[in-house]
Each structure stands twice: as structure tokens, then as C-alpha cells.
A and B are shown apart, each in its own frame.
Chain A
Amino acid sequence: MRRTVLVGAVLLSGVLLANCNRGGDGSGEARTSAPVVNGVRVDLTGAGATFPYPLYARWFNEYAQQTNVRINYQSIGSGGGIRQVVARTVDFGATDVPMSDEELVSANVKVLHIPTVIGAVALTYNLPGLKHPLRLSGEVIADIFLGRVTRWNDPRIAALNDDLALPAADILVVHRADGSGTSYIFSDYLASVSPAWASGPGRGKEVRWPVGIGGKGNEGVAGQVKQMIGALGYLEVVYARQNRLPVVHVRNREGRFISPMPFEIASAATAVLDSVNARATGGTDADLRLSIVNAPGAQSYPIASFTWMLLAPDAIGRAKTEQLVAFLRWALLESGDIASTLGYVPLPSDAAARIVERLERVTNVPASSR
């Protein structure tokens, strides 16, 4: 009985607080960037990728506290996000894998890709007793995952690690078994550095892995690698960092060995956006379905990718488009360090400004609406 009363009181106070917040928003709406439709609460729904879900949840939560816009998001996976946007059952989608040209054509509605944050893939290994991190090049990684390099003391690995004592043991390859954006980024990278990979397994959320075993999810791969001496697997970089797993330093285009740290990952995005900008100056619309694997730049970590929100302005109408553009402006430019405190790599600020500016131009939502 006591407990019921207590629970009731907590619930009631929660409701009262929520109402207070909303009242507060009403008075403060002039300073927020979201356009308010008659001061009533706005609900938007989205669905898609699981990788950015923790970040999106925080963004939506913060945004709802500052404005009267509530965004519900279901992390059902990138494939589901694309399907639902095309089926028009959600107001926006999210994906780690850009839609293919065929998917865009068959969508029957124009879908915009807006990069929101940068993801990266780290390679982790189980080789006890190494005195510094393992170094690998893209070609060697591809040949390991193709089953052409099978032993840790292969001369090609030794040549990259001349001061490490590598064991004469089999390389036990671990890959993701479930379809995932992480596999897409990794296979996209392998395809871009290895012609044999490109013409073999290719790019995809699930590909035909020539060797190794499949783990379910990042935790499945990490669990297998941790248990098997001699194992090599790939993971989403936030997961690897949070679990303090050893990561491979990967040789980038400039020949430098780079560890997957936030600055190095962001450098890849900057380098690619710069090169796109150099090519498409003026008012032309650059397609933002950009691949940033194997990026130029001395500092760039080569296995990185954007994750995107998907917006179909013609499908959701003017009002919702304005709401979402306003949200994205806030998220990319004004949300502070939410992304980096959660372990994500935010877009470099000049890149974010360029993306928002382009989004406002394409959707014809002027920045002055704030």
C-alpha cells in the first residue's frame, strides 16, 4: 500500500514537472531555433540505425527540453530505417549505409542524406605480450580476411612490425554475423584498398566471408576475440574504446600508421569534404552519400564513415520539414559536446556548417526562421 502511494506520488510529480517544463518552453520559445506551430506540442517519429541511437536519444531528449518538439526514434536497424522512410511510415529515417542509386530511384520520392556524426571501425586482436600495438596495412588486412594470409608470422605482417615477436600461430578471423553498418564500413574499406576483395566478397551489410567465424553484434565479436588467442576481429570503435580493447594501427594512404582516435577519425571526414568542395564549388548540390574510407590526409584514420539521417521533404510536407531542419541545425551546430561526451566523433564544425547551409538551401528553409 505504502509503495503504491509512493509510486503514485512520484508519477504525479513527474507529470507536474513535465507540465512545468512545457510552460517554461512556451515562454522561452523566442530564443530557441525551432519554429513553433501555434505553441502546441509537435511529435515527430523516426526509425533506423542502431549505431547512433544512444546519441540520437540524448539529442532528442535535450531538444525536447529546449523546445516543444518531441522526437520518437526506434532503433530498428538501417535497413528498417530505409524501408520505413520509403514507405512513408516515419517522418525521417537513419542509416549507416547510404541508399544505393537503385534504391533512390525506386523510392518514388526524393530522399536527402544528411551526415550527423562519424563512425569508425577498429580492428582488435588477441596476441598477449606485444610491447606496442600491432600495425597493419589495408592490403594485408584484406588478404587476412580473404584467407590468403593465414599465420601471424607471415612475412608481410612481420615487415610491418619488424620489432614485434609475432607467434607462429593461425590467425583466427572473427566477423559480424548479423547484418550491420559496421560490416558495411569495413567491407567498403577492404573493397577500396583491395581489388581482390572488391571483385570477391564486395561491399555490404552482410557479405560472403571467405574465412572465419561470425559473432552476433559487437559484443559477440569482442567475446570471441577475447577468448581466442590469435584472433583478429573488427568492431565499432566506440565499443572498442569503452571496453579498452587493443586496436590495430592501420596504415593510411600517406603511409602513416594511425590509431582510431576522435581527431584522426574526424580528419578523414574533413579531408574528404574538402576534396569534394574543391571539385564542386559554387551552388552545385554535392551528394552527401560520401564514402570516407581510405581518405586522403596524413592524419586520417582510413576506416571511417558518416552515419546519415534520411529526410524526404516531399513526403512529410512543409511543416515537418521545417521542424526537422531546425532540429538538425541545432544538433549539428548548437548541441555542444553531447556527441563527444558519449564517445562519438562529431562532424568538424566547418563541415557541419556547410552541411546545414546546404540542407537549408535544398529544402528551402531559411536559417532566418530562428
Chain B
Amino acid sequence: MRGPDSVAPGRRSLGDRFYRPVTAACAAAIPLVLTMLAVYLLHGAWPVLSTHAGQLLTGSVWDVPRGQFGALPVIGGTLLSSLLALVLATPLALSVAILSAELAPRAVREPLTFLVNLLAAIPSVVYGLWGIYVLLPFLRRTVMPGLMLLPGSLFRGPAYGPSLLAATLLLAAMILPFIAGVSRDVLLAVPRAQREAALALGATRWEMIRDAVLPAARPGLFGGIMLGLGRALGETMAVTMVIGNRHALPSSLLDPTYTMASLLANEFAEASSATHLAALLAVATVLLALTLLVNVIARWLVARVERGASMPGRWA
């Protein structure tokens, strides 16, 4: 059994012998679970996917008693709310990460990190309740009337409160700690020598961060952002409580809309007809596929950016 280069049997620990198979098994469990999930969803969704896939993806009428299942509004609502939340949260989260990793004095760093991590630990139903009792009244009374004075259709009323805007703001608050936490760790992992080299070349602190730290950390930062996006796409409870749950694509930020995860949470428990169940599972399948697709696109983007970043002369 012994390979030619192995150590003497007495000195070889149990850990060494089992380490590889155990880690391999654990790693294999992840694609296995994902595959099982996909197979289950596809199997359950097949009655609808095999016959009405077109209606599901392009139809906008969700009428359960009449058996019409068009999921375009929920797909659109999910993408819009998640991407807008990402646009809002990313600059904030990166600023927090840069501040707590590079700029802030030591006495501020630890409390700041602690507070950001605390944000990540709040259950989403608490975010939802905060959304209902604090965010929505504030938006309805203070923010929305002001926004409605602006020209253009982006902020057209009526100001219900529950809206794409409310969901976006809440989601941004929820994914911020994830992006900030990952980004901070990534920034801290950039070798010290890199910063010192930049400073030695006469860079200011800002130039050092911009030209030496951020480019080196870029793949990790993208990873953090993608983690945030994944969470935003799948977030259910809090969004359900503030988005208005209306089966319509929003034409303004103040319009109520719907997301796939909210639809599943709302209708799954009471779905008694076979078609309705299959339609909900089909929506779940689309959500899974969409998440995978977003991740693949993000990886491709990161790879492209990386090739660009490694070109010589960038720091000159």
C-alpha cells in the first residue's frame, strides 16, 4: 500500500490518511446537493415547463383560478430590486471596507467592523418589521411626496409606500454587511510589501489604495459583491413585507411589484392544485437558473477585468 515517497508507517498520522478523502467527500457534497435540488425542481416543474415554458417566461398574467401562470413580472421584479440594491450597496460597502481596513485609526476599526458584522446577524424578518414600521411610513410621508415633484416618470405616484424603492433600500441595507465584510478581509489580505512598494515610489495614501491595493484585491471584491447579489436575489421575508406583492412590472420606482422568492413564500403553503404547484416549482427553477446565470456572467466579467488589470504599464 505504501507509495515510494511516503513516510514510515508508524509516523504517518491518521489525519494524513483520511484528510484527502474526507475533504473530497465534503467538496463533492456541494455539487451533489445542488444537482439533487435541480433534479427535484425540474421534476416537479415539468408539467408546466414542458408545455407552458413560453407563457411562464414571457407572460405577465398570474391568475391561479384560471390556470394562467406568467412569471415575467416576478422575474423582472427580482432582477430590478436586486440589481438596484447592488448599485446602491456596493459603493457604500466598499467605502466601509476601505475605511475599516486602510484609513480609520485603530480605535475606530474594531467597533466599525463589529457593527457591520452585527448588521449581518439581524434576522431578515426583523429587517422586514423595521421596513413596515419605520421605512415605509418615512418613505410615504417624507421621501415619496418630494420625489413625486421631480419631472419624468421614474418617480410617478401614487405613494403607497410598499414599492420597488422600499424593497431596494431594504435589500441594500441587508446586503451591505456581506459585501463590506468580505471586502475588508480581502483588502487586509493584500500583501504589505505591495503597499510599501507603492509608497516607496512616492504614491500618496489614496494613490496607494487606488493603484496597489484595489487592483490586487479585485477578484475578492467581485466575489463579495456576487455574494451580496446572490443574497438579494433569494431574500424572501423582508422583501415580501415591503414590496407590495403586485403582479406587475413597475413603471416607476414608487410602484409596488413582486419577486420570485416572495411569490413562492406567499403561495406555496396554500397551493392545492397540481398545476399551481408545478407552476410554483417552475418559478423556483427559474430562480435557481437565474442565480447560476448571474454567477457565471460575474465570473466571466471578473476574468475579463483580470486580464485587463494584469497588463503592464497600468501603474505608470
Instruction: Please give the residue numbers on chain A whose beta carbons come within 8 Å of chain B beta carbons, in ascending order.
Output: 76-80, 82-83, 97, 103, 170, 172, 177-180, 201-209, 212-216, 220, 223-224, 227-228
Contact = CB atoms under 8 A, between A and B. Distances in A.
What's the dominant secondary structure at chain A's contact region? loop
B269 A79 contact: yes
Given A213-B162, A214-B244, A227-B140, A103 B272 contact: yes
Nearest to B137: A227
B165 to A, nearest CB: 13
Interface of B: 61-66, 132-133, 136-137, 140, 158, 160-162, 240-241, 244-247, 256, 262, 265-267, 269-273
B65 A204 contact: yes
A234 to B, nearest CB: 15
A213 B244 contact: yes
Nearest to B128: A216
Given A78-B270, A79-B269, A208-B247, A216 B136 contact: no
Contact of A179 (B61, B137, B240, B266): B266
CB-based closest 9 A-B pairs = A179-B270, A214-B245, A177-B245, A79-B272, A77-B269, A204-B65, A178-B266, A213-B244, A79-B270
Given A213-B256, A216-B240, A216-B241, A202 B271 contact: no
* Interface of chain B, main secondary structure: loop
Contacts, number: 93
Nearest to B267: A179
Given A208-B247, A216-B245, A180 B65 contact: no
Among A76, A209, A212, A227, the one with the most B-chain Cβ atoms within 10 Å of its Cβ is A227
Residue in A203, A206, A223 with the greatest tally of chain B CB atoms within 10 Å? A206
Nearest to A212: B246
13 contacts: A76-B269, A77-B270, A79-B271, A178-B266, A179-B266, A179-B271, A180-B270, A201-B63, A204-B64, A207-B64, A213-B245, A213-B246, A215-B245
A22 to B, nearest CB: 35
Given A204-B65, A227-B161, 4 more contacts: A103-B273, A178-B270, A209-B246, A214-B244
